[in-house]
Structure 1
């Protein structure tokens, strides 16, 4: 496939956006300026990637010509052969990135994200696994330079979580984490198992793009707000005020509780953020349901009720069932090094979308 026309198109549009941003009038409309800035950043990367792709293609052809001209057993031919192998991988990778630029950008990819982890089948072991997943995602966030903020949590007796909700802010958070939505299964011997039997437990992970007020309009008359006393470990300043907030969105039936902050106003603001994101997720799900046969979206299409990944500790194995990828690095994976599966998931999603467009 000849990608040069697409690369030229990126370059022309990049010049247009650059000129628009240099116009003082661009600052008069804050929303328009923000949109142009995001497009500028995206196109800048695409133009740079396109240039790198064209250079790699030229280098590949040059080395193929050299390889054909030299005796097969010569030192020059061997060096050219190694370079051809390397450049073929580079061209493939960069070409895929250029093709990705042809697709309309998903506006939710750049959003901050809310992650909800809930213990499922397996009792106390499931709650402990929920804590493991929480640590895995927070450590991955740290490696990406993202910020993690607690929203709500329901601890279990043995140090796990019945439920934990937290927000992650940073660059391309939802773009990378949206594939984590689903049922995660763990197979291991619990610490409480006296006979050494392997137990199977599950947790549900929901990854929600953080909604903005313009995305979801919540009317005051559709919202019931209850103030209640927060539970805590005791100590000065804890459980002394009715700081916890419970929101009930009457039309959808959604209920959100937040008691993470001592301030009632802060708890209400966090609860509103979660509520908007859940309503946005429902809105996205309704839209995606029309195209479920063509596109396998990771959020809100029913896949949350299916097992997406298995963590098998006795075999040191992690398997993602959607792309049939199995790795044998479970200890490092659960410590936050999850790009080894996130990257193939992103590539698989991209290939499906490109196939749908027949690119």
Structure 2
């Protein structure tokens, strides 16, 4: 294990104490809010460092006891056991501190725009897109997040040609960002009389919700059209022009929202979706410039990349990025075991970041 950057840790501890003092004596208004946020961000790391230091002091004491117990076999065995236990504990704590020092994705705590679209496979692809959306909805419910459908286009046999929803909850993007890509399903469709296994696919896009501070949208760059919402089979069709289509002329990005009967609410949702799409485009451009650095990380997040296969006949789910296979298909589709896959992806991602950090440390 690489050595901890002790000097940096001492600087962070000093900064934490400095902020604590400022919050207790005089900070007001926006400054108080800004310092409070920084204090909150630093506190988990500071607590881990304090626990590590305490363990290191205990280890030093155990080693002294070991040196003094050379003539007492019983005390010697006790001291050796304590030294071994504390050394393992310090390794664990050091790893946790290194993880806490990793650069954080500024978007991790944001809400998410989730887009699921049927890919190759016709009606079966639309049905699978519906299955995926239900999986994410159940996963969100498990974590106490809310899901609000912004736009949907149903398939002719059920499911969705496309469904777009806002997922709101703490850390939504941090957990769901690894889901972007092509999801493939292998199963016997209900309409297949011969019992043959078909392969179809759906595409998932996970976008962090954009905020006003991310960038400004010039109203002059927007073309806004309103029209009557289209209902399935002619049912529940609005008689008023409540559906909204917004085109961002410079980029050609188009969003349509028609699920609410209020044109005002549809427009607000459409603007939120447009902001998320434009922010995602900016992020993808920036990441393209760092493509070489990301080869060792968990996939590329590219929407065209096949990331996972759901094999119903064998009851298994395989994530191709980390070669992980779970024979828990039903639990995954119910949103219960999905977090096992996400946690493994997150661990692999952190390992790649640590490896890059160690490489930079050696070069430095």
Normalising by structure 1, we get a TM-score of: 0.85
Distance 1:276 1:163 in 2: 19
Question: Within 5 Å, which residues of 2 pair with 1:205-216?
Answer: 205-216=204-215
Instruction: Tell me what 1:308 maps to.
Output: 307
| Shift in CA distance, 37/177, structure 1 to aligned 2, threshold 3 Å | farther
**In the TM superposition, what is the alpha-carbon distance from 1:326 to its structure 2 partner?**
1.3
**In the TM superposition, what is the alpha-carbon distance from 1:321 to its structure 2 partner?**
0.9
Q: Per the alignment, in what secondary structure is the counterpart of residue 278 of structure 1?
A: helix
| C-alpha contact (below 8 Å) 2:129/2:159 kept by paired residues | yes
1:127-175: CA deviations, max 9, x gaps?
1111111111111111112121111111112220110101111111111
| The one of 21, 24, 28 aligned to 2:23 | 21
Q: Does 1:37 align with 2:36?
A: yes
Instruction: Tell me what 1:344 maps to.
Output: 344
Q: Does 1:231 align with 2:208?
A: no
Max radius of gyration: which structure? 2
**In the TM superposition, what is the alpha-carbon distance from 1:268 to its structure 2 partner?**
0.6
Q: Per the alignment, in what secondary structure is the counterpart of residue 304 of structure 1?
A: coil
Q: Which runs of 5 or more residues in structure 1 are unaligned?
A: none
Q: Per the alignment, in what secondary structure is the counterpart of residue 224 of structure 1?
A: strand
Higher mean displacement: 224-233 or 100-109: 100-109
**In the TM superposition, what is the alpha-carbon distance from 1:176 to its structure 2 partner?**
1.2
**In the TM superposition, what is the alpha-carbon distance from 1:84 to its structure 2 partner?**
6.6
| C-alpha contact (below 8 Å) 2:298/2:349 kept by paired residues | no
Normalising by structure 2, we get a TM-score of: 0.84
**In the TM superposition, what is the alpha-carbon distance from 1:95 to its structure 2 partner?**
3.5
Q: Does 1:190 align with 2:189?
A: yes
Q: Per the alignment, in what secondary structure is the counterpart of residue 108 of structure 2?
A: coil
Question: Within 5 Å, which residues of 2 pair with 1:1-359?
Answer: 1-3=2-4, 5=7, 7-27=9-29, 29=30, 33-54=32-53, 88=88, 94-232=93-231, 239-295=238-294, 303-336=302-335, 337-358=337-358
| Shift in CA distance, 267/297, structure 1 to aligned 2, threshold 3 Å | farther
Count of aligned pairs between the two proteins: 350
Q: Per the alignment, in what secondary structure is the counterpart of residue 292 of structure 2?
A: coil
| C-alpha contact (below 8 Å) 1:183/1:305 kept by paired residues | yes
| Shift in CA distance, 222/330, structure 1 to aligned 2, threshold 3 Å | same
| Shift in CA distance, 229/86, structure 1 to aligned 2, threshold 3 Å | farther
| Shift in CA distance, 282/8, structure 1 to aligned 2, threshold 3 Å | same
| C-alpha contact (below 8 Å) 1:316/1:329 kept by paired residues | yes
| C-alpha contact (below 8 Å) 1:185/1:203 kept by paired residues | yes
Distance 1:198 1:176 in 2: 31
Q: Which runs of 5 or more residues in structure 2 are unaligned?
A: none
**In the TM superposition, what is the alpha-carbon distance from 1:19 to its structure 2 partner?**
3.1
**In the TM superposition, what is the alpha-carbon distance from 1:214 to its structure 2 partner?**
1.8
| Shift in CA distance, 16/138, structure 1 to aligned 2, threshold 3 Å | farther
**In the TM superposition, what is the alpha-carbon distance from 1:356 to its structure 2 partner?**
1.8
Q: Per the alignment, in what secondary structure is the counterpart of residue 256 of structure 2?
A: strand
